[in-house]
Amino acid sequence: MEYVRAFLAGGLVCVIAQLLIDRGRWTPAGVASLLVVLGVILGFGGVYDRWVASVGAGAMLPLSGLGYVFAKGVMVGPPPSGLVATGGAVFRFAGALLAFMVAGSFAAALICKPKG
Amino acid sequence: MGLRTDYLREVKAFQPSPPYAANAGKAFLVGGALCALAQWLANWYGGTFATSALEAHLWASIVMAGLAIGLTAVGKYDDISQFAGAGATMLLTGLANALASAAIEHRSEGWMAGVGGQMLKAGGAAIIYGVIAAYVLGLFWP
Amino acid sequence: MKRVGKQTWLFDEGVYIQAAAAAVGPLEADGPLGKYFDICYRDLYCGEKTWELAERRLMREAVGRCLQKAGVSAEEVDLFLAGDLLNQQATSNYVARELPIPFLCLFGACSTSMQTLAAAAALVAGGLADRALTATSSHNATAERQFRYPTELGVQKPKTATFTVTGAGAALIGRTPGRWRIRAATIGKVIDAGLTNPLDMGAAMAPAAADTIEQHFRDLGASPSDYDLIVTGDLSRVGSVIVRELLAEAGYDVSEMYNDCGLMIYRPDQKVFAGGSGCACSAVVTYGYLLHELARGAFRRLFVVATGALLSQTMVQQKQSIPAIAHGVVIEAAGQEPDGPRSGGM
């Protein structure tokens, strides 16, 4: 059942993004940024926590999930105060994803040429 | 009425519009399937060594991103995206593809100006606005 | 040589294409015109390390094969005119670096093939050169990474998008009578219809093509039936319908003899969206296939109108519209009576 929920929720987000691109004439980069920022806002609002609890990866894998993970870093544990603690907290969990993607992309560039 | 009277308006009749329903359907199916796959991974990690649901999901996301980077390296992810549209580009895997494709593309300009300097050119905006939003809101939270 | 009407040059004194050659990449070699191209690469890298070097090799090979077919050494050529799509015309300049020929670099985006051919014909007809060499090239991957995105980035392209042709064409122009005679050229004006979508260049370029074709008819007092084929460069499925409609509105019915190089170069089942585009599109179709058909006698006179979207990445990002241009050249099978019954105003 949780697979069905993940499927439906993830698919729904993709459909909305697709319609924004096709009908709303948004650029893909614009939609991607919108999803991430929405994830951040809904994450701080606490809504995204419940969304993740209910649909799992259907909330985590869309780009809004990246925004949620940014927010989650700040929200876990005692609230950080000040520029230093907050800046670090933003990357508490998101850092795992970003570091892996950057390093993985570098590794791919080490061994591969573009195929065209 | 003709093209010569108001080109910008009349030309629309000649420009095929995107197949809205088919594009949306494909985005739903592929996007949903990738999320279900990630859920399966998250369940597996949750049942083995992840200490929290969040950690299990992060593991699943990393594996999915790795998969996308691999498919980019062999030149297949762009074909998946052409078919699935937002179903492939608006997931974390799409962001991984954006970073990896730029890195691979610009290795011909070297490791500094090319791979290092250009890696974020396609996927950078989403990361940058995410960081800004989280940092600014985080300063005022709770 | 004289100017007729406002924008058309008429070459009375006999300017000929002495030889021409086309080099292409794998998808074009696999297309319906594959057997007409002189050099076909099975690999998009053409045996080179980077996409840019691959494009340079295509142009170098096309130039070399053209000179070889003409039996002329590079030292015997008085002028080299070339252009391409890369920033600062990198391919042309670097190919010219290897040639001992005075060089003029021309930019007309995808109209460069006919722009260089028209300019070369004028310079030869005017006696400023005995032999002039023209070349142009484009490469799918160099164009993608410069004008659009990294080649492996997942982007869902719309049906209106075009697919940049990988290839290069070269032609040698001279006064020695040969198989193909350049009869006239019409130099186009820059026309901006106000479109801003770089993924729909056919619609952006169609008004420029229609303008040049109409002007050509007006200048020469000619009509569409004076030509066996009127072919545009890279308007593709979208733009070719629009240009036909624009010409019909002006009272010219070209439906009998109109085609587009971007539609001819690929099979309908090849995944190229609306069709081919790029400098090489009109160049390889003209220098490879159309000249062959002229020599064979399938056509007697054709009007090649190469269309160029004068696209700048920076200008598009600043929400500026896309200017376009089209230049046309009339090529005849030599040996025909120039004042035959079907020659119209010529």
pLDDT, tens digit, 9 for 90 and up, residues A77-103? 888 889 999 999 999 999 999 999 999
In this prediction, residue B1 carries a pLDDT of 65
For the stretch C166-178, pLDDT in tens is: 999 999 999 999 9
Q: Which helix (H) or strand (E) holds C14?
A: strand C8-24
Residue C251's CB is within 10 A of a number of other CB atoms, namely 9
Residue A62 pLDDT more than 90? yes
Three-state SS letters, C75-113 = HHCCEEEEEECCHHHHHHHHHHHCCCCCEEECCCHHHHH
| Min Cα–Cα distance to chain A from B48, Å | 17
**Is A71 within the bounds of a domain?**
yes
In this prediction, residue C339 carries a pLDDT of 45
In this prediction, residue C344 carries a pLDDT of 45
Residue C119 pLDDT more than 90? yes
Distance (Å, whole) CA A19 – CA B124: 22
Distance (Å, whole) CA A116 – CA A55: 37
C151 touches chain A (CB under 8 A): yes
Residue C18 pLDDT more than 80? yes
B34 touches chain C (CB under 8 A): no
Residue C67 pLDDT more than 70? yes
Interface test with A, best of C156, C157, C164, C199 (most A CBs within 10 A): C156
For chain B, domain boundaries:
20-140
Which residues of chain B form beta strands (DSSP E)? Answer: none
In this prediction, residue C340 carries a pLDDT of 41
| Min Cα–Cα distance to chain A from C151, Å | 5
What does the pLDDT average to over C121-149? Answer: 96
Between β-strands C103-105 and C163-164, what pairing exists: parallel, antiparallel or unpaired?
unpaired
Contact B58/A93, CB-based, under 8 Å?
A: yes
Residue C341 pLDDT more than 50? no
In this prediction, residue A25 carries a pLDDT of 87
Contact C262/C284 with Cβ under 8 angstroms?
no
* Residues B78, B84, B86, B89, CA torsion sign: negative
Beta bridge partner(s), residue C84 = C137
Residue A1 pLDDT more than 90? no
What does the pLDDT average to over A25-36? Answer: 96
Range of the domain at A38: 2-111
pTM: 0.94
**Is A66 within the bounds of a domain?**
yes
What does the pLDDT average to over A10-35? Answer: 96
In this prediction, residue B39 carries a pLDDT of 97
Q: If you measure CA to CA, which chain B residue comes closest to A66?
A: B92
**Number of domains chain A is built from:** 1
For the stretch C215-272, pLDDT in tens is: 999 999 999 999 999 999 999 999 999 999 999 999 999 999 999 999 999 999 999 9
Interface test with A, best of B17, B30, B39 (most A CBs within 10 A): B39
Let me know if domain C11-174 sits in CATH 3.40.50.720. no
Chains that touch B (3 or more CB pairs under 8 A): A, C
Lowest mean pLDDT among A49-63, C63-77, C297-311, C331-345: C331-345
Which residues from chain B sit within 8 angstroms of residue A89, using beta carbons?
A: 138
Question: B77-84 and B20-47 are packed helices; what angle lies between their axes, rounded to 10 degrees?
Answer: 130
- 3-state SS assignment for residue A103: helix
Give residues with Cβ within 8 angstroms of C196, minimum separation 6.
C316, C319, C320, C321, C322
**Is A16 within the bounds of a domain?**
yes
| Min Cα–Cα distance to chain C from A54, Å | 30
In this prediction, residue A81 carries a pLDDT of 86
For chain C, domain boundaries:
11-174, 180-333
What does the pLDDT average to over C183-200? Answer: 96
Question: Which top CATH class is C180-333?
Answer: alpha beta
Contact A36/B127, CB-based, under 8 Å?
A: yes
What does the pLDDT average to over C93-119? Answer: 97
Please, what is the Cα angle at C112 between C109 and C113, to 5 degrees?
140
In this prediction, residue C335 carries a pLDDT of 74
In this prediction, residue C345 carries a pLDDT of 46
Instruction: Name the residue type at position C79.
Output: L
Lowest mean pLDDT among A22-26, A59-63, C49-53, C68-72: A22-26
Which residues from chain C sit within 8 angstroms of residue A116, using beta carbons?
A: 44-45, 51, 140-141, 151
Which residues from chain A sit within 8 angstroms of residue B95, using beta carbons?
A: 32, 63, 66, 101
For the stretch B59-107, pLDDT in tens is: 999 999 999 999 999 999 999 999 999 999 999 999 999 999 999 999 9
**Is A116 within the bounds of a domain?**
no
In this prediction, residue B49 carries a pLDDT of 85
Residue C126 pLDDT more than 80? yes
Which residues from chain A sit within 8 angstroms of residue C51, using beta carbons?
A: 114, 116
What does the pLDDT average to over C288-301? Answer: 96
Distance (Å, whole) CA A109 – CA B56: 28
Q: If you measure CA to CA, which chain A residue comes closest to C149?
A: A116
In this prediction, residue C343 carries a pLDDT of 44
Distance (Å, whole) CA C57 – CA C17: 23
**Radius of gyration, alpha carbons of chain B:** 20
Q: If you measure CA to CA, which chain A residue comes closest to C144?
A: A116
